[in-house]
Amino acid sequence: MPETITITDNRTGDSIEIPIDQGAADATQWAKLLPGVWFHDPSFGATSAASSSITELDGANGILRYRGYPIEQLAEHSSYLEVAYLLIHGELPTAKEFEAWRYEITHHTFIHENVRKRFMEGFHHDAHPMGILVSTVAALSTFYPGAKDIDDRDVLMKQVVRLIAKMPTLAAGAYRHSVGMPFVYPDNSLDFAANFLSMMWKTAEPRYEANPVLARALDVLFILHADHEQNCSTTAMRTVGSSHADPYISTAAAASALYGPRHGGANEAVIRMLNEIGSIENVAPYVEKVKRGEARLQGFGHRVYKNYDPRAKIIKRTAYEVFEVTGKSPMLDLALALEEVALSDEYFISRKLYPNVDFYSGLIYQAMGFPMDMFTVLFAIPRTAGWLSHYMELLDQGSRIYRPRQVFTGAAERDYVPIVNR
């Protein structure tokens, strides 16, 4: 059987045979047969917007690989910085390459004092850290005007290093501002996760020593959140990047998309949902409320995974390691009960709704002392490496500007009516 499809325009009897290549049919082929007829797919439910070699998802079987490496192996053996290198460069680094990469990232963690003193401190005390992060990432574009030269690979890579390195500094700075604590400068003698924890939690002690179990758990969470193919925020990154906006502006657009409760804001929404449920007795009534369509089971469901999100399995296991140090989250039993009820209920089974990356991550963040409004920020820090890897891939592919077509449903032509006659 040929790996092709044939489309026939029954109005004319004309047909076109289109190859199926790597699971996709080239849309420009049918456009030759059907000029002005668009295949309508408003939320990209059945449309491929890009070809990519970065991350592979197999939603039916719950498989996730970064550049071919299974997420389970990377979570077990790698580090976020090494995974960031893998996403950006396409290969795991040699020891020499990793040392150079680690040195570069470590020595770009500082932000311009004006970003902190004049910009971040200008926000209201209760400004949501994601609002501060999105704004300050965009503001970095004004501090590095040379970043617009995206055709110069060295210039582009410099911005990539700066963004990966500075996200934790901006994130921690947003938190410190929100609690009225002094800004903590990066400690270049610490690794990525431990330095972030130092910038978050250091008070009067001369040097903040992160608990190694918690620092490792956070690094694993960073690995798990680093990329996820054409998700909403990555699509925002590629869309804005396709206009050749600089990496800072494009990253701010991606972080804006991540902020939404359907996407990266879900980890915060899960905790709010568990707070609303309150006790095991209320689990069944809440599930019934969801089944009536009156609420969503936050942290459940996924556009691609129609099986257990492989990241959720690793996060669930990591949660127990964290609770060994912090004490068990009082919400854990509630979350486990909710998962058990949902996974045995026909409503969720028929819709292939399983826990996703956000269902258990919030429990870990809460146990580690992060306030809820920092949870999406914790998602944005590592996803920056993924967003930037897609931005670079888009440029390498010579992609045209994203400009979808539409189905027009508005008014037909009509003449202007002066206001006195309306």
Question: Could you tell me if 393 and 229 are in contact, meaning their C-beta atoms sit under 8 angstroms apart?
Answer: no
Lookup: tokens for 145: 């005007």
Asked if 147 is part of the footprint of ligand SDX (rule: CB under 6 A), the reply reads: no
Closest to ligand SDX by CB, 141 vs 376, is 376
Exactly one of 116, 228, 316, 390 binds ligand SDX (CB under 6 A); that residue is 228
Question: Could you tell me if 249 and 141 are in contact, meaning their C-beta atoms sit under 8 angstroms apart?
Answer: yes
- As a whole number of angstroms, the distance between CA 99 and CA 82 comes to 10
Asked if 302 is part of the footprint of ligand SDX (rule: CB under 6 A), the reply reads: yes
- As a whole number of angstroms, the distance between CA 371 and CA 14 comes to 61
The stretch among 88-96, 194-202, 224-232, 397-405 that binds ligand SDX (CB under 6 A) is 224-232
Q: Report residue 172: phi and psi, to 5°.
A: -65, -35
By beta carbon distance, the residue nearest ligand SDX is: 301
| Strands ordered across the beta sheet of 63-66 | 55-58, 63-66, 69-70
Exactly one of 297, 377, 381, 388 binds ligand SDX (CB under 6 A); that residue is 297
CB of 280 to ligand SDX, least distance (A): 19
Closest to ligand SDX by CB, 190 vs 223, is 223
Q: What positions carry a catalytic annotation?
A: 263, 302, 358
Amino acid type, 202:
K
Exactly one of 136, 195, 239, 298 binds ligand SDX (CB under 6 A); that residue is 298
| Among the listed residues 194, 216, 222, the one whose alpha carbon sits nearest the alpha carbon of residue 207 | 194
Asked if 329 is part of the footprint of ligand SDX (rule: CB under 6 A), the reply reads: no
Q: How far apart are the first and last CA of the chain?
A: 63
Question: Could you tell me if 298 and 266 are in contact, meaning their C-beta atoms sit under 8 angstroms apart?
Answer: yes
CB of 379 to ligand SDX, least distance (A): 8
- As a whole number of angstroms, the distance between CA 63 and CA 193 comes to 26
| Strands ordered across the beta sheet of 24-25 | 4-9, 14-21, 24-25
Binding mask 175-214 for ligand SDX (x = CB under 6 A): ----------------------------------------
Asked if 299 is part of the footprint of ligand SDX (rule: CB under 6 A), the reply reads: yes
Closest to ligand SDX by CB, 175 vs 354, is 354
Binding mask 344-373 for ligand SDX (x = CB under 6 A): -------x-x--xxx---------------
- As a whole number of angstroms, the distance between CA 202 and CA 209 comes to 9
Residues 6+ apart with CB under 8 A from 96: none
Tokens 């099986």 map to which residue?
307
Asked if 262 is part of the footprint of ligand SDX (rule: CB under 6 A), the reply reads: yes
Closest to ligand SDX by CB, 205 vs 294, is 294
Binding mask 266-295 for ligand SDX (x = CB under 6 A): x-----------------------x-----
Instruction: List interacting residues with ligand SDX (CB under 6 A).
Output: 228, 231-232, 262-263, 266, 290, 296-304, 351, 353, 356-358
